Structure 1
Amino acid sequence: MKHLILIAIGGAAGALCRHGLVNIINRVNEDRESWSVFPIATLSVNIIGSFCIGIMYVLIAEKLSLHPDWRSVAIVGFLGAFTTFSTFSLETINLLENGQLANALLYVVSSLIVCILAAWLAIVLTRMV
Structure 2
Amino acid sequence: MNNTKLANALLFMRLSVALVLLMWTIDKFINVGHATAVFEKFYFIAGLGESIMMAIAIGELILIGLFVIGRFKNITYLIVLIIHAVSTLAPFAKYLDPYNGNLLFFTAWPMLAACYALYALREYDTKLNF
Both proteins in one fold, TM over 0.5: no
Query: For this structure pair, what is the TM-score category when the shorter chain's length is used for normalisation?
Result: 0.3 to 0.5
From the two aligned structures, give the one with the greater helix fraction: 1
